[in-house]
Amino acid sequence: MIKKVLAIGVLAALSVGCKTSKPVAEAPATEKKGDFKPYNKVITAEAISDKGLFITHKVDDKLYFEIPDSLFNKDMLWVSRIAKVPSGYGGGYVNAGSKVNEQVVRWSKRGKNVDIKVMSFENQSDEESPIYKSVKANNFEPILYSAKIETMKADSSAYVIDVTSLFEDEVAAINGMDASAKKRYKVRRLDKSRSYIEDVNSFPQNVEVRHVMTYEAEQPPERGQASTISMLMNQSMVLLPEDKMMSRIADYRVGWFTTGKYDYNSDALKSDDYRIINKWRLVPKDIEAYKNGELVEPVKPIVYYLDPATPERWRPYFKKGIEDWNKAFEKAGFKNAIIAKDPPSKEEDPDFSPEDVRYSVVRYVASTTRNAVGPSVVDPRTGEIIESDIIWYHNHLRSYRNRFMIEAGAQNPNARTLETPEEEIGEMMRMVIAHEVGHALGLPHNMKASAAYPTDSLRSAEFTQKYGLTPSIMDYARVNYVAQPEDKGVRYIRMMGPYDLYAINWGYRYLPEAKTSEDEKESLDKWILEKAGDPVYEFGGGYGGVDPQAQRESLGKDQVKASEYGLANMKKVVPNLIKWTTKDGYGYDELEEVYRELIGLWRGYLYHVVTNVGGVYETRKTSDQEGAVYTPVPDDIQEGAVKFLNENAFTTPDWLLNKDILDRIESNGAIERIQSLQSRVLNYLLNEDRLLRMIENQQLHDNDYAVIELLEDLRKGIFAELYNGKKVDAYRRNLQRSYVAIAIDYINKLEEDDDVATTDIIALMRGELETLQSQLNRMQYSTSDRLSRYHYKDLIARIEKAFTAK
């Protein structure tokens, strides 16, 4: 999962290199008119040295870089990551391997000093054009670090500098803790006595430094951390290729991770801002055969090695997940474009290390984190992916096991156990790896893909076995929760689909005749237009919460129907959870874990429905395509969504409040938990942006289902007991108070000079509260339950207080 996201970086921090460090023999040095110390006085016989991009030397507690003269002013990508993080840091959302910064640097010699300059390639101009001087003058490179030259080689071919303070002091550009974290944990200072360089490895194309940073903090993430926050940082410096790959210009109609550019040589009346896609450099070995439509191997295939720590049991599934992408690359004209390999033995490659940028590795991390990520190292000058490390955290399968039980347990007997059969769990692992490799190839999430398939098609064995759950493996569609118990032979686990083949062809097909990026655009546009209007080939990132057809975890075109199916299955699962999750002689930890995750998935089903209300469909188009980009969700779908919410979100979920389960996992908390969930759904439904979209859509598109209809439907649903005279239970009382509180909060914004004060929302909420107050006054005695009457009186008092205060 993973963690949108643009994923750039070297995750070399999670595995220690296996190289043997030995002192580097050096010819006697001569002083240069006393400017520098003799070489052997700086790099002594006790030095632990490592040859690679730079020769690195550890002398006592100092670290020296010996920089060849040939590498000055060369572009290098510097990636800073947190290799190890204290428990609870960042609220648990910052994991080992999290990138904190990446930048292109150049080492440059300035007199007796060496500087590290931070370069930018965002702003561009032809060096021969008059504006080039202005672009350079207005993008002056900052100096990240400077050190004096300590000594030099006898032949003046390399200079030695002390870089200890670069890693032991607090240098903001490579620091693991930003200003907000320091404020959150009340950090006083970096303690240099407890900050040190732990390890350094130099490889032919990169240098890796691991260093510990320790901060004094008044409020560390957890109490047991003794007013201290320590983290292990990994700094990766990667030499970028001088032979630059030709970039491919991005198009927002096809999903790709991209790098932004500004071209000041544009003929337009402004700089031309555009984006290029991030992709590996794949060139056919036989150009003529490729032109003739034959499948051709690339000059340099994409190779992933498995981490030596990967359990033997799971290696076949990892390899299949990687090489599944060959099907997509064949669509782009390549065969054997991506290869999965076991880690080489010491005899096969004694210098193999996952930290070496020459190797892309699927890392298997012993961590309780439930996640997998697929970042990559990208050359920001061209968008070329240089290297990638897929991270698989050990406990990630636990999430899939639980989800399989919750969402498929009613339909699939193999899901009714904590020991999920290897066939199913291996297939899940394979598809997770395939998903993460998709990211590493340049593809972002495509949350719109799932809406291409009719919801009821996911109940068909023939359809799902052929087409999967969604047209793209890059969608979040983990388990088929739509299928019902009577549907036999259905596929339950996602797989690669037609969109993935289309996107890889669009991004990776080699165009031999094209000499520039602009030369490719006609062909790229043609491929998109050939698929225009077919929802299978549409892209939507799923961010913003506006388009109900581009949502995380949703399945099928009809989100209301899909959630109905999902809830029907959940109601069958809950009564069986004790039997499926417990074992003689053990407690109820597993039951509690699965039950709480089930509640989270139920909330997700509700959110999928809410997004339809005030929702807007987005179909990405360019100006040469007919039709609108944005279209409001039809009235009947919005009205049906609110009906679903009244019946399933705002009624008391008796099916979920299973006494047998609750008596085993908690002494109390059910009421508060349901209140929190229902209130969050209600707040999401009555979100200001949603209401404003509904107001605008009514005005511009003559939508009949407007805010006033929404509020009336909610009042009749949430306060149904007021009209039928029934008792109001504790859950419903909390919900009704939440509704009144939300409306009052909007009215209060009138006095806060809030932007909402200039909209219709306050008038609508005031009118709704007046209607509710009138009905409460008139019908409060329609129930014989005394607590319900007290509750109604309390609501009346709250509304009166709100009006009186204004």
Question: pLDDT tens-digit profile of 727-756?
Answer: 999 999 999 999 999 999 999 887 676 777
- The confidence band for 781, taking pLDDT boundaries of 50, 70 and 90, is confident
Overall average pLDDT of the 296-314 stretch: 92
- The confidence band for 201, taking pLDDT boundaries of 50, 70 and 90, is very high
pLDDT above 70 for 374: yes
Quote the percentage of the chain above a pLDDT of 90.
71
Helix ranges restricted to H, 273-314: 287-291
Strands (E), 222-337: 228-239, 258-263, 272-277, 302-306
Overall average pLDDT of the 570-592 stretch: 96
Overall average pLDDT of the 375-390 stretch: 89
Let me know: does 161 contact 148? Beta carbons within 8 Å. Answer: yes
Q: Is 258 helix (H, G, I), strand (E, B) or coil?
A: strand
Residues 6+ away with beta carbon under 8 Å from 779:
722, 723
pLDDT above 50 for 614: yes
CA-based nearest residue to 749, from 771, 774, 769, 766: 766
- The confidence band for 139, taking pLDDT boundaries of 50, 70 and 90, is low
Sheet order of strands, 258-263 included? 123-124, 258-263, 272-277
pLDDT at 247: 95
Average pLDDT, the chain: 88
Place of tokens 């200079």: 159
Q: Residue 569 is inside which H or E element, if any?
A: helix 559-573
Let me know: does 150 contact 143? Beta carbons within 8 Å. Answer: no
Strands (E), 98-139: 98-110, 113-119, 123-124
Let me know: does 409 contact 580? Beta carbons within 8 Å. Answer: yes
CA-based nearest residue to 378, from 303, 304, 279: 279
Task: Record the tokens describing residue 60, joined without a space.
Answer: 């006592």
Q: Is 260 helix (H, G, I), strand (E, B) or coil?
A: strand
Weakest mean pLDDT among 123-137, 396-410, 499-513, 552-566: 123-137
Q: How many CA atoms lie within 13 A of 207 on its CB side?
A: 20
pLDDT at 377: 85
pLDDT above 60 for 287: yes
Q: How many CA atoms lie within 13 A of 442 on its CB side?
A: 26
pLDDT above 90 for 13: no
pTM (predicted TM-score): 0.87
pLDDT at 130: 56
Overall average pLDDT of the 531-542 stretch: 94
pLDDT at 19: 44
Let me know: does 384 contact 75? Beta carbons within 8 Å. Answer: no
Maximum alpha-carbon separation in the chain? 103
Question: What is the per-residue pLDDT across 71-126, written as a single tens digit (0 to 9) for each?
Answer: 999 999 998 888 887 877 877 667 666 778 889 999 999 999 999 999 877 555 45
Rounded CA separation 428/494 (Å):
8
Rounded CA separation 265/253 (Å):
26
- The confidence band for 28, taking pLDDT boundaries of 50, 70 and 90, is very low
More confident residue, 382 or 135: 382
Task: Record the tokens describing residue 199, joined without a space.
Answer: 């390890």
pLDDT above 80 for 267: no
Query: CA 695, 696, 697, 699 torsion: positive or negative?
Result: positive
Which phi and psi angles does 539 have, rounded to 5°? -125, 140
Weakest mean pLDDT among 83-97, 270-284, 534-548: 83-97
pLDDT at 780: 85
Place of tokens 């290869």: 339
pLDDT at 355: 76
Residues 6+ away with beta carbon under 8 Å from 589:
none
Question: What is the per-residue pLDDT across 657-671, written as a single tens digit (0 to 9) for each?
Answer: 999 999 999 999 999
Residues 6+ away with beta carbon under 8 Å from 525:
251, 622
pLDDT above 70 for 437: yes
DSSP letter, residue 25: P
Task: Record the tokens describing residue 737, joined without a space.
Answer: 């108070």
pLDDT above 90 for 435: yes
Residue type, 196: Y
Query: CA 51, 54, 59, 60 torsion: positive or negative?
Result: negative
Q: In DSSP terms, which residues pair with 387 in a beta bridge?
A: 377
Rounded CA separation 518/271 (Å):
16
3-state secondary structure 429-440: HHHHHHHHHHHH
- The confidence band for 30, taking pLDDT boundaries of 50, 70 and 90, is very low
Residue type, 296: V
Weakest mean pLDDT among 364-378, 453-467, 528-542: 364-378
Q: What region, left, alpha or beta, does residue 614 occupy, with left being phi > 0 and alpha being psi -120 to 50 degrees?
A: left
Burial 611-644 (b: 16+ CB within 10 A, else e): bbbbbbbbbbeeeeeeeeeeebbebebbbbbbeb
Let me know: does 376 contact 385? Beta carbons within 8 Å. Answer: yes
Task: Record the tokens describing residue 799, joined without a space.
Answer: 């509304």
Overall average pLDDT of the 544-556 stretch: 93
Query: CA 167, 170, 175, 177 torsion: positive or negative?
Result: positive
Q: Is 668 helix (H, G, I), strand (E, B) or coil?
A: coil
Rounded CA separation 194/295 (Å):
57
Question: What is the per-residue pLDDT across 216-239, written as a single tens digit (0 to 9) for each?
Answer: 998 888 777 778 899 999 999 999
Residue 16 has a CB neighbour count (10 Å cut-off) of 16
Task: Record the tokens describing residue 51, joined without a space.
Answer: 């040859």
pLDDT at 156: 83
Quickly list DSSP for 462-526: HHHHHH-SSS-TTS---B--S--TT--S---B----HHHHHHHHHHH---TT--SHHHHHHHHHH
Residue type, 275: R
Q: Is 52 helix (H, G, I), strand (E, B) or coil?
A: coil
Question: Residue 167, exposed/middle/buried by CB under 10 A (0-12, 13-18, 19+)?
Answer: buried
Which phi and psi angles does 53 have, rounded to 5°? -55, -55
Burial 584-597 (b: 16+ CB within 10 A, else e): eeeebebbbebbeb
Let me know: does 174 contact 78? Beta carbons within 8 Å. Answer: yes
pLDDT above 80 for 265: no
Task: Record the tokens describing residue 294, joined without a space.
Answer: 């034959």
Rounded CA separation 65/582 (Å):
57
pLDDT at 123: 52
